[in-house]
A and B are shown apart, each in its own frame.
Chain A
Amino acid sequence: MPLLSDIAGYWLNGTMRTFEAFGQGFGSPATDPPALTPYDVIYEGGKVSLRHYAAPVRQHATPLLIVYALVKRPYILDLQPGKSVVQSLLAQGYEVYLIDWLPPNRHDTKLGFDGYVNEEIANAVRAVQIAEHVEQVDLLGYCFGALLALLYAALHPANVKNLVTLTIPFDMSVRELPIYNLVDAMSDVTVDLITRIYGNCPAWMVNANFLSMAPIHHALDKYVGLYRNSERDGYAAMFELFERWMMSDVPLAGQTFRELVTQLFKRNALVRGEFKIGGETIDLRRITCPLLNVVAAQDDVVHPASSLGLPEFVGSVDKRNLTFPTGHLGAVVSAGAMTKLWPEVGNWLAARETPAN
């Protein structure tokens, strides 16, 4: 029975990969695969390693800063030729900068949203402003990174020319995805215990949360999928790379984890206008720059209903939702996203851009 033995072999490999990830502490910059697109690190400080990808032919004056999520490593945005958001944007003439978050260690347990937004992103934006001799940057945030970019834009609106939020977890009262009911059941005492015992929310816990979103897929179906697609060119290589990324979780800084669960997730403080950063209440109406809110219609990590309401809350006149028929990861790796979504995002930015001299 080659079918069963093959699937069993794939499953065994997957299990070994999980054990290895446990052994080495999941994701770290050291375990990243070789970079697909060459880049220079132009600034490194605090928890930020700021990458610069130079456009082969620059067509736009304003640089684009990608704020990646705090969970998992950022190489998903530059995975393979033809499956790279970075390469798509470079080909459209954008000068791309990317925040590669350095994983928090035991000294970073007090690092909360204030530190990430008002210090880390603020420093990265300043570095781009200095490197490019510009006053404003375009911000593009992915998932949790979109939330951070939104908060930065609300607190420092003068520095942001255009804002693109991709699959943003905004309205946390949405409970369309059943897994969220389990997170709801996590009491404040539990959150407190996690940060007291571990300091930060450990990477294995973040990983377990992702795996439990689709347990059947991760336990069985993805291996069966690999068997069914084993004849397809490049599928196995892509699968390996993707699985490696799935195990690249990094810890979430203790204070950030606490604020995320207790304030944002359970109390929906941002939407209710009660979320404070560094003592300042976030007022999303302060965002007046153009906003493109990209929503993945089949998103099973951040439900579309959680993202769709964002434009109503910002003060911008030029704002819109762009719903694309794909999943949470499909938005950054699928062939459809590369041929349709990213050119559309590029065109939206270009229409609000100054051509480069």
Chain B
Amino acid sequence: MKKQESQVVQELGKFVQAFWLELPMAAANRFFGNGNEITLRKAGWKAYDAFVSLANEATNTIYANPVVGSLTGQTMERALQIQHMGSAAASAFFGNLWPAVGLPTASEVAGLRNEIAALHEDLSQAVEAAEKEEQAQSPMLAATSAEGLSLLRNGYFKRDDREDDEDAAA
């Protein structure tokens, strides 16, 4: 802690020198035509760097302070406790309110979604089974399968052709 404070004092000294002595000096020199733009700019950035170093050391000193640490810890704990209690109360309140006004709870919606997904699957399986059955009953559709090809070879096409010819003759 003492080390931190001495570093702050050291950085403060550098800042005072850069900002209150060197920068006004460079500005005055520039104003009276003795210095140039570059020297003034350098003095300006030096003052800025000194300010940043000072601010960093000051922040570190604040962090190192046990009172600040303890306060931060307590504030964080209190904020989390409030948040925890708030979310518990909200879930208790809405958990009872939702069914009372006839709205489903999140778990009910999730259950419903699962049920719909299962129904989708059942439906697609049923459609697939129906298609297979249809294929088995129709030789023309079955022609796409190996079994269908053997049916074709056994003259189903010829029979169909014959039926067409008979229809035409009639």
Contact = CB atoms under 8 A, between A and B. Distances in A.
Interface in A179-235: 179, 181-182, 184-187, 189-190, 193-194, 196-197, 214-217, 220-221, 224, 228
B69 A185 contact: yes
A181 B56 contact: no
B77 A187 contact: yes
Contact of A193 (B56, B60, B80): B80
Contacts of A186: 73, 76
Interface string B23-66: 00000000000000000000001001000100110011101111
A221 B59 CA distance: 14
A214 B73 contact: no
Contacts of B73: 182, 185-187, 190
A67 to B, nearest CB: 30
B80 A190 contact: yes
B83 interface: yes
B47 to A, nearest CB: 12
Contacts of A179: 63
- Find the residue from A179, A182, A187, A189 having the highest chain B CB count within 10 A: A182
Nearest to B63: A178
A216 B59 contact: yes
Interface in B141-155: none
Contacts of A228: 45
Contacts of A181: 63-66, 69
A220 B53 CA distance: 12
Contacts of B56: 214, 216-217
Nearest to A214: B56
Nearest to A196: B84
A187 B72 CA distance: 11
B4 interface: yes
Nearest to A215: B59
Given A193-B84, A194-B80, A182 B59 contact: no
B77 A190 contact: yes
B77 A182 contact: no
Contacts of B83: 193, 197
A348 to B, nearest CB: 35
Given A216-B56, A216-B59, 12 more contacts: A181-B63, A181-B66, A182-B63, A182-B68, A182-B69, A182-B72, A185-B69, A193-B77, A193-B83, A197-B80, A216-B55, A221-B52
Closest 10 CB pairs of A and B: A185-B73, A178-B63, A193-B80, A185-B69, A178-B60, A178-B64, A216-B55, A181-B69, A190-B77, A221-B52
Interface of B: 4, 45, 48, 52, 55-56, 59-61, 63-66, 68-70, 72-74, 76-77, 80-81, 83-84, 87
Interface of A: 178-179, 181-182, 184-187, 189-190, 193-194, 196-197, 214-217, 220-221, 224, 228
